[in-house]
Chain A
């Protein structure tokens, strides 16, 4: 009895449910949106640009989605599929090789006129196997700043800085001599590696990579011993193995020299520092440690084609991101050095930014992700570089022996990285 009643109720409820369900079927409109994903800094600024002028691509609405942090953006980019993924990602140049290899990014071809507005090496940063995957947006580079309240003469060699440190360590309560405040112990610290003789790869005079050679580990290792270690083979305190607290200490006047990033110069100016920028001076007077410069780009995804907005996304890349007007509008808020040449000469660019530019042109090295991201040697540049500092400055391992390992890793990475160029 009860069972039959239950079955009846079941039938009734299902019938109800189905009729209710059928009466409402969702309607989907054709996509006239271009979805752009960006991090917590660039996203809000791009939104301001779009709010001021929305018609960068006629007939389309540009939607900016801002993630809570750069890490969150990266995690979402990794997890996304074409179902909800973006048409354009504002991301680091590092993301290009992996994204392209996995088929998440799509290539774009630019007209000669657009290409002429950028430096060729910036396109190189955003290319994989000869195809371009995005538009260079802003430039990230570092330079060394020195505190004129402490150091009166501009150092000409690495030794000058060490001498100053040793002489004034106690009197001025210095916590370190030189430290890396911007870009971390791998990217930011390349200037220091290079100043002491260890370049991630060597370039020929004509600007091509010298595959036959890598840095000389005994020269580098002995420089490390001379300048960074004391007689007990322990760190002499001149160069800390981590970047934590570097910025604060420089600002507090307890570290005279620091490698800083061009995205944070305003913090230094606000504390009353003048932008005495230069590359890290080399072991031999008159030489300089070479520093990386990289670009962040607006990258085209392969999802755009699936969403039916690829042509529109390409138009947006050209009209907004690759145009002087677009980059000026954006950098008015973002205040990083723009990649586009017209925007570079615009008045939104500060003198400090120009200081970074000039020290980069004095001692810059193109940042070739294919070599630096490669880990065929056992670890990528990004992982092995900080490990060297730890091994020598913290664990007290032999500077030359560790340098040999480092040289071997980097050499293998560069050689096998050729395939990804």
Chain B
């Protein structure tokens, strides 16, 4: 067996496998380059080189074990984190969403206004004299007909034309209509085309058979990177924050803007703008309280159960089978069901207790409800791990202590519990980290509420950092991805430093790490 892993055959197999994987990845990278996705293409190429380098040389043996996992971590965990970091330095919010070139195109497109009567024409797209792009336009009310190219307009008499039953011209001299199949290919060109009407007005397409009369309101001065209002002469320049703003009136900006780097403005807002800072501090405190109490209650109940069922009492198997059901049920489902149960008027909880508590409208009750539901979701896990850990504690220890005259309570608090804590601390920390970012629970149960909106609250009472950030980033009417990213980064720094300090100080993980 060992020999096999060392033999030539194994080496050949390894090379063949590597080659196939490399070939597939390079194929991917090439098509990425073909579609101008350079960053991803380069990433894939680097992955290929890295893989060959790692597995064909002996530079680092641990790397051979880490490599596949590392790639996935880099691609789908670290890359999004880097993306978030980058976003946090951008003005990236509703109104500043697209790239600058797109924004310029959009502004130009929006900066047209129809003529006073909002004239529209029935049109047919085709060629003039066989080559020049043109439209055959009919105004059936005014009985006006013309052919327009990019540069000229030729007025026509109805008598020279072939009209259909709606009085729309379908054929004209020197004009050949495009076939349907040709239209599809010409769409990109047609939708940006402007057909000559007068020196001021032009006809643009509103679909393949309608054109409307417009004139341009703003001109783009590309050498100055600015827009000019044609009638007033006002200049709109890049204000460095992702908008073209009026030079004389900086609050007047052109829409849409683009996402522009503003460096640390999102961060300074976090600390200087009380409207952002104060809710954040409150939410942070509640997040800690929520995560800690969720872990502690789940652990306490789980441990209590584990202790109770640590003896082969009658019905233990049945207890156990039912007790792990909350853990095995799809949590999305159970959270939503709990949401219904806490309803004030009709929910099962109030019916059971005979009360009339408005659970999700009151700050305290909503917080209690959130923790109760999380306890329900979490205690089976801690029951399972605690009972496993209890079984793993050598029974000689307890017996020895009992012989020494220790009471069961003393045994528990002096021997069992410390041992358990030591054993389970990595799981407790992992559970804290999980609950710290337990988005599903808050999002599906309370949506972060209640919120005293009338008193100016922006964050809800049960909002944890991640649900609050989600609101900021993906809320219904205003979305600020830049600010949300900055919050994420700051939260991360805080949590990371607290955890690192905790790990070093308490040495809980010393043996583990």
Contacts and interface: CB of A to CB of B under 8 A. Distances in A.
A188 B478 CA distance: 22
Contacts of A248: 346
Nearest to B27: A21
B270 interface: no
B26 A244 contact: no
Interface stretch (A12-20, A144-152, A222-230, A330-338): A12-20
A188 B96 CA distance: 32
Interface in B91-117: 94-98, 102-103, 105-106, 109-110, 114
B455 interface: yes
Contact of A3 (B57, B181, B184): B57
A244 B56 CA distance: 63
Contacts of A302: 98, 102, 106, 109
Contacts of A421: none
Nearest to A386: B453
Interface in B246-272: 255-256
Given A14-B52, A24-B27, A240-B345, A103 B206 contact: no
Contacts of A30: 184-185
Interface in A383-421: 383-384, 386-388, 390-391, 394-395, 402, 405-406, 409
Contact of B187 (A14, A26, A101, A310): A310
Interface string B207-225: 1111010000000000000
B256 A102 contact: yes
Q: Which of A6, A21, A388 has the most CB of B within 10 A?
A: A21
B103 A16 contact: no
Contact of A106 (B109, B188, B453): B109
Nearest to A102: B97
Interface stretch (B17-25, B233-241, B304-312, B495-503): B17-25
B256 A315 contact: no
Interface string A355-381: 000000000000000000101001110
Contact of B191 (A14, A112, A310, A395): A310
Interface residues of B, number: 76
B337 to A, nearest CB: 13
Nearest to B209: A315
A319 B58 CA distance: 67
A135 B358 CA distance: 42
Interface stretch (A38-46, A56-64, A340-348): A56-64
Contact of A101 (B31, B255, B450): B255
A7 B56 contact: yes
Interface in B328-382: 340, 343-346, 358, 360-362
Contacts of B110: 107, 131
A25 interface: yes
A321 to B, nearest CB: 12
A57 to B, nearest CB: 7
B301 to A, nearest CB: 29
A110 interface: yes
Interface string B175-214: 0000011011101101110000000000001111110100
Nearest to A129: B255
Interface in B27-73: 27, 29-31, 34-35, 48, 52-53, 56-58
B345 A245 contact: yes
B187 A308 contact: yes
A375 B344 CA distance: 29
Interface string A236-249: 00001110110011
A245 B188 CA distance: 51
Given A59-B183, A241-B361, A379 B453 contact: yes
Interface size class of A (residues with CB under 8 A): 35 or more
Contacts of B343: 242, 244-245
Given A7-B56, A311-B191, A102 B94 contact: yes
Contact of A21 (B29, B344, B358, B454): B29
Nearest to B18: A13
Given A32-B184, A391-B452, A176 B345 contact: yes
A94 B478 CA distance: 11
B89 interface: no
A9 interface: yes
Contacts of A245: 343, 345-346
Contact of A244 (B95, B106, B346): B346
Contacts of B19: 12-13, 16-17
Given A10-B56, A26-B31, A109 B114 contact: yes
Given A78-B479, A109-B212, A103 B256 contact: yes
Nearest to B204: A109
Contacts of B284: none
Nearest to B14: A9
Nearest to A57: B208
Of the listed residues B18, B25, B183, B345, the one surrounded by the most CB atoms of chain A closer than 10 A to its CB is B345
B454 A391 contact: yes
Nearest to B113: A130
B477 A109 contact: no
B511 interface: no
B207 A17 contact: no
14 contacts: A6-B57, A13-B23, A17-B25, A32-B184, A75-B474, A101-B255, A175-B345, A305-B192, A310-B187, A311-B207, A319-B207, A390-B358, A395-B362, A406-B454
Q: Which 9 A-B pairs have the closest CB atoms?
A: A103-B256, A308-B188, A387-B453, A13-B19, A315-B207, A17-B23, A310-B191, A245-B346, A314-B207
Interface of A: 2-3, 5-7, 9-10, 12-14, 16-18, 20-22, 24-26, 28, 30, 32, 57-60, 74-75, 78, 82, 94, 97-98, 100-104, 106-112, 129, 131, 175-176, 240-242, 244-245, 248-249, 302, 304-305, 308-312, 314-315, 317-319, 373, 375, 378-380, 382-384, 386-388, 390-391, 394-395, 402, 405-406, 409
Given A20-B27, A386-B453, 20 more contacts: A6-B57, A10-B52, A17-B22, A21-B26, A24-B27, A26-B31, A59-B183, A59-B184, A74-B476, A82-B102, A101-B94, A102-B94, A102-B97, A103-B98, A107-B109, A242-B345, A379-B456, A380-B477, A387-B454, A391-B454
